[in-house]
Chain A
Amino acid sequence: MAKMTMVEALNMALRQEMKRDDSVILLGQDIGPDGGVFRVTDRLFAEFGENRVVDTPLAEASIVGMSVGMAVYGLKPVCEIQFSGFIYQAFHQIENHAARMRWRTRGRLHVPMVMRAPYGAGVRALEHHSESREAYWAHTPGLKVVIPSGPRNARALLVSAIRDPDPVIFYEAKALYRSLREDVPEEEETLPIGRANIARAGDAVTIIAYGAMVRPALEAADLLAEKEKMAAEVIDLLTLSPLDEELLVASVKKTGRAVVVHEAPQSFGPGAEIVARLMEGAFYYLEAPIERVTGFDTIVPYFSREKSYLPGAERIAAAARRTFIK
């Protein structure tokens, strides 16, 4: 097994799926000779050529709209939207078509496509390059939303997303691209879409996170273990939609306490839905109101102030402690 960054692991997933299936086609801006602005498609142009790694004109609606057509035809397009902050230029193609082709044709046509996009703050990027707006897509019926938290699960989930028969939004945290390495097996590995993972087992309080927030959630669990001798359970969602509510409910039934973490703004964010599901499934087991630790209801400030916007381990640990105050 090789130690890989998330960028390298995603690159491997793309390469292996392209080798395995010649209907897998990559489309995006600067993904060809340049290898993508984050290098996720590094060397794929040289290996597979311009018909498999398609450098597109600067138009997101073209990338997504063409992919819908290609997917209806029977190909498996994997789009790279250079930054999730520019996926809105394709909003109508996703909402009006990708998400509902199967439904409109009563299953006759469908669009197996993946829309990859880097998201999130913490890398000192220019404006429009740091937002977390996954709620738009989780709110859209007909889309699956997958958000990995590290190199190994990113690779396995991307493979599953490519093989999935439905459109998948695949958000990649920029903050994780190169900040950690993990062993990633060369052999095929997939992870089921729609399943969360217990990243750390515990019985005192359930901390629910995804993407770049899993790391501070685990650090918060460390703090709670050190200072309070408290065993927090950390759940890494991996898929935001469809949500693995079974696992969440089971965990909260056990702990009676929950903290939901995301860097997206709070109001109408993923946390609101997660809390609602816990209320439906585990209300009588709750010992305290569920806490949310999220981005604020403002736009991610330009990078000199972004650190204060992002939830960190201290903020999460403090919320976990609050669930013990009666």
Chain B
Amino acid sequence: MGRKRIEPSNCTIDYLSILDEYGNLDTGLEPEIPPEMHLKMLRAMLLGRRFDERLLDLQRQGRIGTYPPTKGQEAAHIGSAILLKDSDWFVPSFREMAAEIMRGRTMESALLYFNGYNEGTIVPEGSKDLPMAVPVASQILHAVGLAWAAKYRQTGEVVMAFFGDGATSEGDFHEGLNCAAVYQAPVVFVCQNNQWAISVPLARQTHSETLAQKAIAYGMPGIQVDGNDILAVYAAAKEAVDRARDGGGPTLIECVTYRIMMHTTSDDPKKYRSEEEVECWRQRDPLIRYRKYLLQKNLITEQQLIALEEEIKQDIQAAVERAEKRMQELGNPLDQFDHLFAEMPPRLRKHKEALAKELAEAGREAHHG
């Protein structure tokens, strides 16, 4: 009887920053990353950035539909996803374009998706990735299920799930973290806290000081990192992935970053945030910081960077051309009936035949008219 204090273990979280916006480096914490991995990350970030810019351009020209830009968040999703093996699982939301492409999604696939083609959510053959998930936070539970299954099959696979700060308000987030901890599932939750959920700032999304601390309530480690510092993201993700693989259960990583652009191309951020705030975050661009670091470490030269930019530019151009050509071949309306079931039910077949007949008649009329 009486009142006594309970101090649950693991009741603090760390904040990790290794390479800051001024180029200062904490050499004690600097992770050991093989040079070829650095180059892979740089290429993925740079490609992600340039492709994102191109997609925005295409949207403005009416060549794709609504698009959610990822600019400024590349370190958060590249620095974490790089730790996955091909045999691990990658579960994205909709703002991890650079990581999706690093994992093997083609740029054509993204172009098809944002142009309203169902072919844009096909995942590459043999890949362990799920397609993008638009219903906020819903994918978190799939990651837990995948991780549960991997543990059951004892494959040693790890699952990494991505979502935004806004997603932490949904029930699916809380249920997902809870289940993952209960089952000690090998899953890493990566929250890209870009500080806005459309027009709602983090302060009105949660009354918690950090998002990482939500991990404590579920009995798992949580860590907050500078999400624009790829070294910090990498270090935190390595720890979490290793722990998951060793049977140590789930981790929540909060990457503090910023949504530099509009929520989607249909959004007008001037209605709810100041240009000064955005400008201040432009100074903390993850790519500028990382490029400087690599140059200083002689992991890349200025000439190589120029060549890389050129190569990426050509890759993107070729992908856009391929996708636009592909779109002329795709788009048969009759495809909408396929793949709803393994076997098409009779009524659906009837609907498909009805549309086929209608299209044939319209074709004949157009021909004669």
Contact = CB atoms under 8 A, between A and B. Distances in A.
Contact of A59 (B117, B170, B330, B336): B170
A58 B166 contact: yes
A244 interface: no
A298 B331 CA distance: 16
Contacts, number: 116
Interface stretch (A121-129, A147-155, A206-214): A121-129
A296 B348 contact: yes
B22 interface: no
Contacts of A89: 135, 170-172
B116 A302 contact: yes
Contacts of B171: 59, 61, 89
A57 interface: yes
Interface stretch (B40-48, B197-205, B288-296, B303-311): B197-205
A33 B272 contact: yes
B325 interface: no
B39 interface: no
Query: Which of A32, A33, A305 counts the most chain B CB atoms within 10 A?
Result: A305
Interface string A279-316: 00000000000000000111101111111110000010
Given A29-B198, A303-B65, A306-B116, A58 B135 contact: no
Interface string B348-364: 10011001001100000
Contact of B120 (A128, A296, A297, A302): A302
Contact of A33 (B115, B170, B271): B271
B118 interface: yes
Contact of B337 (A59, A127, A298): A298
B169 interface: yes
Contact of A58 (B134, B205, B348): B205
A276 interface: no
B200 A58 contact: yes
B155 interface: no
A195 B250 CA distance: 55
B198 A296 contact: no
B347 interface: yes
A8 interface: no
B206 interface: yes
A57 B206 contact: yes
B34 to A, nearest CB: 38
Contacts of B134: 126-129
Contact of B333 (A62, A129, A303, A305): A305
B336 A298 contact: yes
A35 interface: yes
B327 interface: yes
Contact of B200 (A30, A62, A85, A128): A30
Nearest to B165: A58
A140 interface: no
Query: Which of B134, B266, B327, B337 counts the most chain A CB atoms within 10 A?
Result: B134
Contacts of A303: 65, 116
Interface in B224-263: none
20 contacts: A29-B200, A33-B272, A37-B198, A55-B200, A57-B204, A58-B167, A59-B171, A86-B135, A126-B65, A126-B66, A127-B134, A128-B134, A129-B134, A266-B347, A296-B336, A296-B337, A301-B118, A301-B335, A304-B116, A315-B358
Give the 10 A-B residue pairs with the shortest CB-CB distance, closest first.
A303-B116, A308-B333, A34-B199, A57-B169, A58-B166, A304-B116, A301-B336, A296-B351, A302-B116, A59-B169
Interface of A: 29-30, 32-35, 37, 55, 57-62, 85-86, 89, 124-129, 266-267, 296-299, 301-309, 315
Interface of B: 65-66, 113, 115-118, 120-121, 134-137, 166-167, 169-172, 197-200, 204-206, 266-267, 271-272, 327, 330-331, 333, 335-337, 340, 345, 347-348, 351-352, 355, 358-359
Given A59-B169, A124-B66, A298-B351, 15 more contacts: A37-B266, A37-B267, A58-B166, A59-B171, A124-B65, A127-B121, A267-B347, A296-B352, A297-B348, A301-B333, A305-B331, A305-B333, A305-B336, A308-B355, A315-B358
